[in-house]
């Protein structure tokens, strides 16, 4: 592990860029920067949300991934049809650990793959008929579904099928909402536009469906928005909110249902965890229904306490009192976590490269454990994400946007962090380089990481990764012998 100064980090960026041809170098230079906390606006130092350079190994996804995988997919009581050829849906099926309760295939469907399985003739003659038939069949076979969404894959946009018309027609026939989502993969530069498109379809096809229908409300109704319940995250969050005597009306969209979404316009406050993927609908609800939204962060002790107090400040004194009581009650538990793990983790350096909210949200959790984040970046962040990141990161740390395999590898080789947190595509490269790794998308089959319960698990997982004895055995025995012999001889 080495700590680089500002000049050294700048030199490192220049060195990594060296291998690119002139034009590519100019383009990539705009996406890499050394953090300067005095800058108010990220656009002065980093460009984001641009088309990926052809020829590099990006880790981005497509708009379909953003809509089907992220926003719509976890709505558990709806059936999401991957409309088009079979691959997009099959290869992304059940890969995201958004937990839910229910009987899969009976009343919940999140891990199943429904597809229209396009063949050549559907491309040539259009797939409208097939889609209508499919929707009717689905409703027969799975009568407990509450609605259907049609997630377009690339070919649908190319051949120009009118899925909106089919949606209206079949919706009337089956008497349930059918939502057409124009999230063809080629739209936009990354999954980010898919989030936006999905949010817009929720706005147009779902949100206002229960306007005018009364629901029993309380002054303490909130909705959790943008918590995808990875490994049970949203449940850990919900526990804390309920202990503060708030009523959680909806969970968007981890373990969430269509009815919860329709009821959301009646809440008092929207709690927005993943700003990137769900800010659109939160803005809309703020304007149309006057529901304020608040970005919060339930990773790590410091941020949890800060967020809980800010949430409580929206409500009356009884909530504030309960909030303090909750904080006090959990304190001994986190004290124990910190006492156990901080001495083991203190001073370790971490590099992150994730999507959505985590590149900035988890920094605090690492800091609570005495660790330091020395590099971070978003796969598909926008300027407003980086605006929010600059202040969280230390000075002279590295920030990278849409980094590719080569750049990440070079950065890691030079910065030599004690640990890397990223996704499955990066995991094995870094493990083979001998660097402890945690998947920060799926929590590596662990979780939850949100809330007090999650913090303990997070600390344990980081310790497991770092203290694994395997890191001492990277050198094969025959080479070890020579190394010792050399030492002896010296």
Partner 1 sequence: MANIMIRTAVSGGLTFYLPKRDLEASISSIEFDTQEKWGGELKLDNGGIYYIDPIARPPRLPISLRARRIGAAED
For residues 27 and 158, is the Cβ–Cβ distance under 8 A? no
Minimum distance, C-beta of residue 125 to ligand SF4, in the bound complex (Å): 20
SS3 (DSSP) at 454: helix
Residue 86 or residue 433: which is nearer to ligand SF4 going by CB? 86
When asked if residue 309 is in the footprint of partner 1 (CB under 8 A), the reply is no
The active-site residue, picked from 28, 31, 80, 96, is 96
For residues 297 and 356, is the Cβ–Cβ distance under 8 A? no
Minimum distance, C-beta of residue 43 to partner 1, in the bound complex (Å): 6
Strands, sheet with 32-34, edge to edge from the N-terminal-most edge strand: 32-34, 398-401, 372-378, 349-352, 419-422, 437-439
| Stretch binding partner 1 (CB under 8 A), from 42-50, 162-170, 404-412, 430-438 | 42-50
When asked if residue 88 is in the footprint of ligand SF4 (CB under 6 A), the reply is yes
SS3 (DSSP) at 229: coil
Among 287, 472, 476, 477, binds partner 1 (CB under 8 A): 287
Active site residue 325: no
Among 66, 127, 185, 300, binds ligand SF4 (CB under 6 A): 185
The Cα–Cα gap between 411 and 170 comes to 52
Other Cβ atoms within 10 Å of 10 Cβ, number = 16
For residues 156 and 187, is the Cβ–Cβ distance under 8 A? no
Report the site for partner 1 in 288-307 (rule: CB under 8 A). 290
The vertex-291 CA angle with 289 and 295, nearest 5°, equals 145
Report the site for partner 1 in 380-409 (rule: CB under 8 A). 382-384, 387
Residues in binding contact with partner 1, number by CB under 8 A: 16
Report the site for ligand SF4 in 111-170 (rule: CB under 6 A). 153-154
- The pattern of x and - marking residues 263 through 282 that bind partner 1 according to CB under 8 A reads -----------------x--
Minimum distance, C-beta of residue 388 to partner 1, in the bound complex (Å): 10
Minimum distance, C-beta of residue 34 to partner 1, in the bound complex (Å): 20
For residues 43 and 383, is the Cβ–Cβ distance under 8 A? yes
The vertex-90 CA angle with 87 and 95, nearest 5°, equals 130
Minimum distance, C-beta of residue 192 to partner 1, in the bound complex (Å): 8
When asked if residue 286 is in the footprint of partner 1 (CB under 8 A), the reply is yes
The number of helices, as runs of H, and strands, as runs of E, in the chain is 21, 14
Active site residue 65: yes
Structure tokens at 190: 């990354």
Active site residue 196: no
Q: Which of 99, 180, 88 is nearest to 132 (CA)?
A: 180
When asked if residue 59 is in the footprint of ligand SF4 (CB under 6 A), the reply is no
| Stretch binding partner 1 (CB under 8 A), from 51-59, 155-163, 286-294, 424-432 | 286-294
Question: What does 383 bind: partner 1, ligand SF4, none (CB cut-off 5 to 8 Å by kind)?
Answer: partner 1
Question: What does 62 bind: partner 1, ligand SF4, none (CB cut-off 5 to 8 Å by kind)?
Answer: ligand SF4
Question: What does 41 bind: ligand SF4, partner 1, none (CB cut-off 5 to 8 Å by kind)?
Answer: partner 1
Which H helix or E strand runs over 373? Answer: strand 372-378
Active site residue 62: yes
- Residue 348, C-beta contacts closer than 8 angstroms, at least 6 positions apart: 1, 370, 371, 372, 418, 419, 466
DSSP designation for 472: G
Which H helix or E strand runs over 178? Answer: strand 178-181
Q: Which residues are catalytic?
A: 62, 65, 96, 195
Binding residues vs partner 1 (CB under 8 A): 40-41, 43, 47, 49, 192, 196, 280, 283, 286-287, 290, 382-384, 387
């Amino acid at each position: 592990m080495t700590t680089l100064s500002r000049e050294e980090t700048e030199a490192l960026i220049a060195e990594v860029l060296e291998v690119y041809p002139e034009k590519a170098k100019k383009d990539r230079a705009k996406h890499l920067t050394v953090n300067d906390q005095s800058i108010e606006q990220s656009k002065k130092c980093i460009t984001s949300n641009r088309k990926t350079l052809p020829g590099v190994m990006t880790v981005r996804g497509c708009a379909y991934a953003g809509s089907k995988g992220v926003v719509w997919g976890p709505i558990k009581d709806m059936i999401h049809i991957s409309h088009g050829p079979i691959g997009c849906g099959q290869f992304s099926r059940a890969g995201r650990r958004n937990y839910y309760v229910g009987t899969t295939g009976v009343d919940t469907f999140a891990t199943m793959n429904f597809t229209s399985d396009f063949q050549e003739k559907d491309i040539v003659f259009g797939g409208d008929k097939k889609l209508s038939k499919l929707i009717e069949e689905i409703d027969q076979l799975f009568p407990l579904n509450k609605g259907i969404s049609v997630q377009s894959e690339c070919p649908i946009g190319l051949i120009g099928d009118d899925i909106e018309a089919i949606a209206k027609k079949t919706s009337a026939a089956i008497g349930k909402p059918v939502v057409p989502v124009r999230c063809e993969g080629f739209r936009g530069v990354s999954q980010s536009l898919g989030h936006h498109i999905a949010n817009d379809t929720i706005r147009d096809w779902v949100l206002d469906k229960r306007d005018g229908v009364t629901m029993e409300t309380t002054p303490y109704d909130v909705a959790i928005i943008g918590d995808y319940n990875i490994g049970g995250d949203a449940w850990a969050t919900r526990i804390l909110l309920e202990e503060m005597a708030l009523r959680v009306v909806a969970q968007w969209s981890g373990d969430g249902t269509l009815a919860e979404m329709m009821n959301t316009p009646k809440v008092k406050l929207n709690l927005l965890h993943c700003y990137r993927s769900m800010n659109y609908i939160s803005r809309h609800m703020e304007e149309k229904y006057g529901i304020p939204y608040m970005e919060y962060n339930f990773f790590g002790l410091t941020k949890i306490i800060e967020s809980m107090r800010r949430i409580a400040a929206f409500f009356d004194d009884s909530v504030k009192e309960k909030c303090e009581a909750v904080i006090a009650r959990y304190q001994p538990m986190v004290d124990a976590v910190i006492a156990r793990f901080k001495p083991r983790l203190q001073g370790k350096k971490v590099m992150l490269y994730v999507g959505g909210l985590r590149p900035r949200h988890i920094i605090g959790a690492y800091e609570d454990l005495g660790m330091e984040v020395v590099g971070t970046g978003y796969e598909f962040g926008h300027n407003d994400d980086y605006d929010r990141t600059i202040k969280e990161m230390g000075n002279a740390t590295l920030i990278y946007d849409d980094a590719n395999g080569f750049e990440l590898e070079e950065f890691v080789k030079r910065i030599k962090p004690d640990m890397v947190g990223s996704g499955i595509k990066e995991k094995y490269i870094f493990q083979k380089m001998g660097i402890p790794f945690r998947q920060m998308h799926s929590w590596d089959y662990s979780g939850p990481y949100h809330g007090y319960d999650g913090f303990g698990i997070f600390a344990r997982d980081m310790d497991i990764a770092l203290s694994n004895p395997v890191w001492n055995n990277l050198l094969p025995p025959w080479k070890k012998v020579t190394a010792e012999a050399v030492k002896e001889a010296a």
